[in-house]
Copies of this chain bind each other. A is one copy, B any other.
Amino acid sequence: MTLREMSEQRKQALAAEFELTSFPDALKHAQDVIVAQDDAVFRAQAHASNPPLIAAMRYAVRGGKGMRAFLVLESGRINGLTSARTGLSALAVEYMHAYSLIHDDLPCMDDDDMRRGCPTVHRKWNEHTAVLAGDALQPLAFDLLCDPCIGDARIGLKLVRGLARAAGHQGMVGGQMMDIAAETRDTPYSLDQIIAVQQGKTGALIKWSATAGAVIADAAEDEFNALDLYGEKLGLAFQIWDDVLDIEGDAQAMGKAVGKDAARGKATFVSHLGLDGAKRRARDLVTEASDALNIFGDKAETLRQAARFVISRDS
């Protein structure tokens, strides 16, 4: 194939991204982008030694749903961007998410043996490899956001700062710390406290993903705010549904242990709202998330489907 043909093929592939697709297709596309970009990142570093470290890093990234990558790609698409501009940011947030899962699974944290149907990193390798693979995925995420293909430096820096805050003590790590503290508290968390845990532990990264496309496109404030609100509602619905699945889910479909929170007597959305109340709340949030995107019209249909998927999934 000549270079011109390759570039033509690439152009067609990128043009195809502007077609409205179903959520399952878009999610599959996000997974393909993750694999292709991850291959490219590590191919570019073919000289890198440290085989077990790199194997553990890449192992942790594979097999995920790619929900956060999807949000980056799709929020980019409705703002007129192809994965040529958004792909590295999609991979960056999956690296960040993968690192957090590795560390959350450690014996000193949630102590889980299985993740996504496979042994967790510290079970497959060992604890120090798990700590270090997580430690190395985090800076790699920031590294990718500095790539000039994303846009001018001002945009890259905005992505970096946003991801840093979403990941840090006021975001994901802060939420995880509060979540672990829940297990040794005398009084269970209130509903507001559970929401605060969720907003940090999973919400911040989901919001960053849902708004990343608007940031990269340098979209107007209205577009950014609409996606921000969508991300907030979606993230909360996602967590509520996780609590529902922890009761109703099947360990095999989930690829990890279920019923752990209930067994520990930990406060959850279900313990506060009841199973039906939690489901109702999640459904309301999905409607609110969908409505938040009115400004984008039909273009946002895939994001709306994604929100509905969140409360229909069984894993």
Contacts and interface: CB of A to CB of B under 8 A. Distances in A.
Interface of A: 45, 48-50, 52-54, 57, 100, 103, 106, 108-109, 126-129, 131-132, 134-136, 138-140, 142-143, 145-146, 152-154, 156-158, 160-161, 163-165, 167-170, 173-174, 176-178, 180-181, 196
B146 A103 contact: no
A169 B57 contact: yes
The A contact surface, by secondary structure, is helix
A77 B178 CA distance: 42
Contacts of A54: 169
Given A48-B170, A160-B157, A131 B131 contact: yes
A260 to B, nearest CB: 16
B108 A178 contact: no
B139 A174 contact: no
B109 A128 contact: yes
Contacts of A53: 169, 173-174, 177
A108 B136 contact: no
Indicate the member of A50, A167, A169 with the most B CB atoms within 10 Å. Answer: A169
Indicate the member of A109, A132, A158, A180 with the most B CB atoms within 10 Å. Answer: A132
A103 B135 contact: yes
Nearest to A176: B132
A242 B100 CA distance: 33
Contacts of A152: 153
A135 B136 contact: no
A165 B180 contact: no
A177 B128 CA distance: 8
A152 B142 CA distance: 18
Given A48-B169, A108-B126, A143 B161 contact: yes
Nearest to A152: B153
B136 A164 contact: no
Contacts of A153: 152-154, 156-157
A126 to B, nearest CB: 7
A135 to B, nearest CB: 5
A111 to B, nearest CB: 10
A96 to B, nearest CB: 9
Contacts of A140: 164, 168-169
Given A53-B174, A140-B164, A106 B131 contact: yes
A160 B173 contact: no
